[in-house]
Amino acid sequence: MVTAVGDGTDAGQATVDLLGVLAYGELSAFDRLAEDARHAPTLSGRAALSSMAAAEIGHFRMLEEHLGGIGVPVETAMAPFVETLNRYHASTAPRSWLESLVKAYLGDGLAADFYREVAGWMSGPTGELVRHVLADTGHSAFAEREVRAACEADRKVHDRLALWGRRLLGEAVTQAQYVVAERDELAEFIVTGSGDVSGIGALLKRLQSNHGKRMSRLGLS
pLDDT in tens, the chain (221 residues): 333 344 433 358 888 998 999 999 999 989 999 998 998 899 988 998 898 899 889 999 999 999 999 999 999 999 999 998 999 899 999 999 999 999 989 988 888 888 888 877 877 888 888 888 887 666 688 889 999 999 999 999 999 999 999 999 998 888 877 777 778 888 788 888 777 767 777 888 888 999 999 999 999 98
Q: Does the residue 195 lie in any domain?
A: yes
Print the domain residue range for 23: 13-217
Q: Answer for the pair 53, 42: CB distance below 8 angstroms, yes or no.
A: no
Q: Does the residue 2 lie in any domain?
A: no
Q: Does the residue 20 lie in any domain?
A: yes
Please report, for the domain that includes residue 54, its CATH number. Answer: 1.20.1260.10
Kindly report the pTM of this predicted structure: 0.84
Q: Does the residue 4 lie in any domain?
A: no
Q: Does the residue 3 lie in any domain?
A: no
Number of domains in the chain: 1
DSSP string, 119-173: HTTB-HHHHHHHHHHTS--SHHHHHHHHHHHHHHH-HHHHHHHHHHHHHHHHHHH
